[in-house]
Protein backbone atom coordinates (compact mmCIF):
# COMPACT_ATOMS: atom_id res chain seq x y z
CA UNK A 1 0.00 0.00 0.00
CA UNK A 2 1.18 3.53 -0.82
CA UNK A 3 -0.12 6.77 0.67
CA UNK A 4 0.36 9.98 -1.29
CA UNK A 5 -0.37 13.58 -0.35
CA UNK A 6 0.42 16.99 -1.80
CA UNK A 7 1.46 18.91 1.30
CA UNK A 8 1.81 22.05 -0.84
CA UNK A 9 1.49 22.65 -4.57
CA UNK A 10 1.84 25.99 -6.28
CA UNK A 11 4.29 28.76 -7.17
CA UNK A 12 4.47 29.70 -3.48
CA UNK A 13 5.84 26.26 -2.52
CA UNK A 14 5.78 22.57 -3.38
CA UNK A 15 6.13 19.43 -1.29
CA UNK A 16 4.80 15.93 -2.02
CA UNK A 17 4.62 12.95 0.35
CA UNK A 18 4.86 9.31 -0.76
CA UNK A 19 4.89 6.65 1.95
CA UNK A 20 4.19 3.03 2.81
CA UNK A 21 3.53 1.40 6.18
CA UNK A 22 7.10 1.91 7.42
CA UNK A 23 8.90 4.46 5.26
CA UNK A 24 8.28 7.65 3.33
CA UNK A 25 10.00 10.16 1.11
CA UNK A 26 9.32 13.78 0.26
CA UNK A 27 9.65 15.29 -3.19
CA UNK A 28 10.70 18.95 -2.92
CA UNK A 29 10.66 21.19 0.12
CA UNK A 30 9.50 24.59 -1.03
CA UNK A 31 7.69 25.45 2.19
CA UNK A 32 9.05 25.85 5.70
CA UNK A 33 9.90 23.03 8.08
CA UNK A 34 7.07 24.16 10.35
CA UNK A 35 4.52 24.08 7.53
CA UNK A 36 5.64 20.62 6.39
CA UNK A 37 5.37 19.15 9.86
CA UNK A 38 2.07 20.87 10.69
CA UNK A 39 0.46 19.71 7.48
CA UNK A 40 1.70 16.17 7.98
CA UNK A 41 0.24 16.17 11.48
CA UNK A 42 -3.10 17.43 10.12
CA UNK A 43 -3.18 14.43 7.79
CA UNK A 44 -1.94 11.93 10.41
CA UNK A 45 1.33 11.36 8.54
CA UNK A 46 4.33 10.39 10.65
CA UNK A 47 7.52 12.45 10.01
CA UNK A 48 9.71 9.76 11.59
CA UNK A 49 8.99 7.56 8.56
CA UNK A 50 10.73 9.96 6.17
CA UNK A 51 14.04 8.55 4.91
CA UNK A 52 14.99 11.14 2.29
CA UNK A 53 14.04 14.30 0.42
CA UNK A 54 14.23 14.45 -3.37
CA UNK A 55 14.77 17.86 -4.99
CA UNK A 56 13.58 18.33 -8.56
CA UNK A 57 15.48 21.59 -9.18
CA UNK A 58 16.89 24.62 -7.44
CA UNK A 59 14.05 27.15 -7.75
CA UNK A 60 12.97 28.53 -4.39
CA UNK A 61 9.43 27.14 -4.50
CA UNK A 62 10.96 23.64 -4.51
CA UNK A 63 14.09 24.18 -2.42
CA UNK A 64 13.81 26.96 0.14
CA UNK A 65 12.78 24.83 3.14
CA UNK A 66 15.08 21.87 2.61
CA UNK A 67 18.06 22.81 4.78
CA UNK A 68 16.11 23.22 8.01
CA UNK A 69 13.76 20.32 7.25
CA UNK A 70 16.60 17.93 6.44
CA UNK A 71 18.41 18.90 9.65
CA UNK A 72 15.27 18.46 11.77
CA UNK A 73 14.50 15.04 10.30
CA UNK A 74 18.18 14.01 10.02
CA UNK A 75 17.69 12.66 6.51
CA UNK A 76 19.70 13.07 3.29
CA UNK A 77 18.74 15.32 0.41
CA UNK A 78 18.98 13.86 -3.09
CA UNK A 79 19.82 16.49 -5.70
CA UNK A 80 21.85 16.68 -8.90
CA UNK A 81 25.29 18.28 -8.75
CA UNK A 82 24.35 21.07 -11.15
CA UNK A 83 21.12 21.87 -9.29
CA UNK A 84 23.04 22.10 -6.03
CA UNK A 85 25.65 24.37 -7.62
CA UNK A 86 22.94 26.78 -8.82
CA UNK A 87 20.99 26.76 -5.55
CA UNK A 88 21.12 29.62 -3.08
CA UNK A 89 24.04 28.81 -0.79
CA UNK A 90 22.48 29.58 2.63
CA UNK A 91 19.66 27.12 1.88
CA UNK A 92 21.95 24.22 1.03
CA UNK A 93 21.52 21.26 3.40
CA UNK A 94 24.44 19.58 5.14
CA UNK A 95 23.64 15.99 4.20
CA UNK A 96 23.72 15.68 0.41
CA UNK A 97 23.50 12.69 -1.89
CA UNK A 98 24.07 13.68 -5.49
CA UNK A 99 22.46 11.74 -8.31
CA UNK A 100 22.78 11.85 -12.08
CA UNK A 101 19.58 12.29 -14.15
CA UNK A 102 18.47 8.90 -15.39
CA UNK A 103 19.94 7.16 -12.35
CA UNK A 104 17.77 4.81 -10.30
CA UNK A 105 17.81 5.58 -6.56
CA UNK A 106 16.80 3.14 -3.83
CA UNK A 107 15.50 4.55 -0.54
CA UNK A 108 14.29 1.77 1.69
CA UNK A 109 11.76 -0.21 -0.33
CA UNK A 110 11.21 2.65 -2.77
CA UNK A 111 12.78 2.71 -6.21
CA UNK A 112 13.00 6.22 -7.62
CA UNK A 113 13.34 6.61 -11.37
CA UNK A 114 14.89 10.01 -12.10
CA UNK A 115 14.69 11.69 -15.49
CA UNK A 116 15.39 15.02 -17.13
CA UNK A 117 12.53 17.27 -18.20
CA UNK A 118 12.23 20.61 -20.02
CA UNK A 119 12.32 23.54 -17.61
CA UNK A 120 14.44 26.65 -17.22
CA UNK A 121 16.61 25.34 -14.41
CA UNK A 122 20.16 23.99 -14.26
CA UNK A 123 19.31 20.28 -14.41
CA UNK A 124 15.56 19.84 -13.84
CA UNK A 125 14.32 16.35 -13.03
CA UNK A 126 11.04 14.64 -12.37
CA UNK A 127 10.48 11.37 -10.57
CA UNK A 128 8.56 8.13 -10.83
CA UNK A 129 8.45 6.45 -7.43
CA UNK A 130 7.92 2.70 -7.50
CA UNK A 131 6.96 0.44 -4.61
CA UNK A 132 5.61 -3.10 -4.78
CA UNK A 133 4.44 -2.69 -8.36
CA UNK A 134 2.75 0.67 -7.78
CA UNK A 135 4.13 3.78 -9.52
CA UNK A 136 3.59 7.40 -8.50
CA UNK A 137 4.75 10.26 -10.72
CA UNK A 138 5.62 13.76 -9.59
CA UNK A 139 5.59 15.74 -12.83
CA UNK A 140 5.46 19.50 -12.47
CA UNK A 141 7.49 22.40 -13.91
CA UNK A 142 7.37 20.97 -17.42
CA UNK A 143 7.49 23.33 -20.39
CA UNK A 144 6.61 20.62 -22.89
CA UNK A 145 6.11 16.86 -22.46
CA UNK A 146 9.37 15.33 -23.73
CA UNK A 147 9.91 11.63 -24.42
CA UNK A 148 11.13 11.09 -20.83
CA UNK A 149 7.96 12.54 -19.34
CA UNK A 150 5.71 10.58 -21.71
CA UNK A 151 7.48 7.30 -21.04
CA UNK A 152 7.28 7.54 -17.26
CA UNK A 153 3.82 9.10 -17.22
CA UNK A 154 2.35 6.12 -19.03
CA UNK A 155 3.62 3.77 -16.30
CA UNK A 156 1.92 5.56 -13.39
CA UNK A 157 -1.03 4.49 -11.24
CA UNK A 158 -1.09 7.95 -9.66
CA UNK A 159 0.46 11.22 -10.75
CA UNK A 160 0.86 14.76 -9.53
CA UNK A 161 0.48 16.50 -12.90
CA UNK A 162 1.19 20.16 -13.55
CA UNK A 163 -1.78 22.16 -14.81
CA UNK A 164 -0.24 25.56 -14.33
CA UNK A 165 -2.12 28.09 -16.42
CA UNK A 166 -5.19 28.86 -18.47
CA UNK A 167 -4.03 30.28 -21.79
CA UNK A 168 -6.63 33.08 -21.91
CA UNK A 169 -5.83 34.17 -18.37
CA UNK A 170 -2.10 34.17 -19.08
CA UNK A 171 -2.15 36.14 -22.33
CA UNK A 172 -4.80 38.60 -21.12
CA UNK A 173 -3.39 38.92 -17.62
CA UNK A 174 -1.09 41.30 -15.79
CA UNK A 175 2.23 39.50 -16.28
CA UNK A 176 4.80 41.46 -18.33
CA UNK A 177 5.32 40.17 -21.85
CA UNK A 178 8.68 38.52 -21.16
CA UNK A 179 7.21 36.56 -18.24
CA UNK A 180 4.20 35.44 -20.27
CA UNK A 181 6.58 34.14 -22.92
CA UNK A 182 8.68 32.39 -20.28
CA UNK A 183 5.68 30.60 -18.74
CA UNK A 184 4.35 29.46 -22.11
CA UNK A 185 7.72 28.43 -23.52
CA UNK A 186 9.02 24.88 -23.91
CA UNK A 187 11.06 25.40 -20.73
CA UNK A 188 8.24 26.99 -18.75
CA UNK A 189 5.08 25.31 -17.47
CA UNK A 190 2.26 23.09 -18.72
CA UNK A 191 -1.05 24.77 -19.51
CA UNK A 192 -4.38 23.18 -18.67
CA UNK A 193 -4.79 22.25 -22.34
CA UNK A 194 -1.33 20.67 -22.56
CA UNK A 195 -1.97 18.65 -19.41
CA UNK A 196 -5.31 17.42 -20.78
CA UNK A 197 -3.61 16.33 -24.01
CA UNK A 198 -0.87 14.48 -22.13
CA UNK A 199 -3.43 12.64 -20.00
CA UNK A 200 -5.72 11.88 -22.93
CA UNK A 201 -3.02 10.38 -25.13
CA UNK A 202 -0.61 8.86 -22.64
CA UNK A 203 -2.62 8.04 -19.51
CA UNK A 204 -2.20 4.32 -18.95
CA UNK A 205 -4.93 1.76 -18.37
CA UNK A 206 -3.90 1.39 -14.70
CA UNK A 207 -3.89 5.13 -13.91
CA UNK A 208 -6.17 5.54 -10.88
CA UNK A 209 -5.88 9.19 -9.90
CA UNK A 210 -4.47 12.45 -11.23
CA UNK A 211 -3.85 15.36 -8.87
CA UNK A 212 -3.74 18.69 -10.71
CA UNK A 213 -0.67 20.43 -9.34
CA UNK A 214 1.35 23.66 -9.41
CA UNK A 215 -1.65 25.81 -10.39
CA UNK A 216 -0.75 29.46 -10.93
CA UNK A 217 -2.44 31.91 -8.56
CA UNK A 218 -2.46 34.63 -11.23
CA UNK A 219 -3.10 32.68 -14.43
CA UNK A 220 -5.43 29.87 -13.39
CA UNK A 221 -8.21 28.95 -10.99
CA UNK A 222 -9.01 25.55 -9.48
CA UNK A 223 -12.41 25.64 -11.23
CA UNK A 224 -10.91 26.34 -14.66
CA UNK A 225 -8.28 23.65 -14.23
CA UNK A 226 -10.81 21.03 -13.18
CA UNK A 227 -13.28 22.01 -15.91
CA UNK A 228 -10.57 21.59 -18.53
CA UNK A 229 -10.52 17.87 -17.72
CA UNK A 230 -14.31 17.34 -17.95
CA UNK A 231 -13.99 15.46 -21.23
CA UNK A 232 -11.80 12.85 -19.51
CA UNK A 233 -13.84 12.47 -16.32
CA UNK A 234 -15.29 9.16 -17.50
CA UNK A 235 -11.79 7.71 -17.86
CA UNK A 236 -9.80 9.20 -15.00
CA UNK A 237 -10.28 10.34 -11.40
CA UNK A 238 -9.00 13.94 -11.53
CA UNK A 239 -8.60 15.89 -8.29
CA UNK A 240 -7.15 19.17 -7.09
CA UNK A 241 -4.25 20.06 -4.83
CA UNK A 242 -3.97 23.19 -2.67
CA UNK A 243 -1.27 25.84 -2.40
CA UNK A 244 -2.24 26.76 1.17
CA UNK A 245 -2.99 23.41 2.80
CA UNK A 246 -2.36 19.70 2.49
CA UNK A 247 -4.61 17.87 0.07
CA UNK A 248 -6.27 14.59 0.94
CA UNK A 249 -4.26 11.45 1.60
CA UNK A 250 -4.89 9.00 -1.22
CA UNK A 251 -4.14 5.30 -0.78
CA UNK A 252 -3.15 2.93 -3.57
CA UNK A 253 -3.15 -0.83 -3.29
CA UNK A 254 -1.24 -3.20 -5.51
CA UNK A 255 -3.66 -4.76 -7.96
CA UNK A 256 -3.80 -8.55 -7.93
CA UNK A 257 -2.41 -10.27 -10.99
CA UNK A 258 -5.16 -11.87 -13.06
CA UNK A 259 -4.45 -15.02 -15.04
> Is the C-alpha dihedral spanning 68, 71, 72, 74 positive or negative?
positive
Domains of the chain with CATH codes: 2-241 (3.60.15.10)
pLDDT of residue 254: 78
Contact 157, 135 (CB under 8 A): yes
Name the residue among 137, 128, 139, 124 with its Cα closest to residue 63.
124
pLDDT tens digit sequence for 117-172: 999 999 999 999 999 999 999 999 999 999 999 999 999 999 999 999 999 999 99
pLDDT of residue 257: 55
Looking at the whole model, is its pTM more than 0.75? yes
Could you tell me the CA-to-CA distances from 175 to 170, 172, 180, 181 in Å, in that order?
7, 9, 6, 10
Contact 229, 212 (CB under 8 A): yes
For the chain, which residues score pLDDT lower than 70?
A: 256-259
Name the residue among 51, 54, 2, 49 with its Cα closest to residue 30.
54
pLDDT of residue 88: 93
Amino acid sequence: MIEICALASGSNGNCYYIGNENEAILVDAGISRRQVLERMKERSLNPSKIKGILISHEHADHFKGVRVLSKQLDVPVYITHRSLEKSWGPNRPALIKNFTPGERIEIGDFIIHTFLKQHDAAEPCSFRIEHDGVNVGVMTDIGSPCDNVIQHFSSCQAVFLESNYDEDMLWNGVYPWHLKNRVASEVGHLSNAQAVELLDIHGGADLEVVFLSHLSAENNTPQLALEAFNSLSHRFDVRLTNRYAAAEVFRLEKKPVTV
